[in-house]
Amino acid sequence: MAVGLVALQCLALYAPDTSGVPGGEIPGLDKVAHVLVFALPTFVLFAAGARRRLVVGVMLIQALASEFVQGALLPHRSGDVLDALADAVGIGVALIADALVRRPRS
């Protein structure tokens, strides 16, 4: 499942043209998508037992690299610092969710 979510993440981040994606005209919806595209695979990788620091590091690199690639190499896409920030928020959401799931119950 984790591999599938990472593959979908890469598809969303590196697709050459997203102009036909439904909901693109709704302001802010792309930021919500960025949060989810990073929160879900990060959380699933944590649940699968992957080392948290490694996952967070790789996901942060992916967030920055994807915006660079979109801005520099994909003609119908643009890099956006706010998208990278939304990606980081998604990673943070996964960290919080993982901590809540692992919290001992009284």
Let me know: does 18 contact 24? Beta carbons within 8 Å: yes
More confident residue, 25 or 90: 90
Closest C-alpha among 10, 4, 28 to residue 69: 10
Instruction: Record the pTM.
Output: 0.91
Matching residue, tokens 């959401």: 93
DSSP structure class, residue 104: P
- Check pLDDT > 90 for residue 103: no
Closest C-alpha among 104, 86, 6 to residue 46: 6
- Check pLDDT > 80 for residue 20: no
- Check pLDDT > 90 for residue 23: no
- Check pLDDT > 90 for residue 26: no
Q: How far apart are CA 57 and CA 66, in angstroms?
A: 14
Q: How far apart are CA 82 and CA 11, in angstroms?
A: 19
Percent residues over pLDDT 90 in the chain: 71
pLDDT tens per residue, range 67-87: 999 999 998 889 999 999 999
Give how far Cα 80 sits from Cα of 8, 16, 75, Å: 20, 15, 14
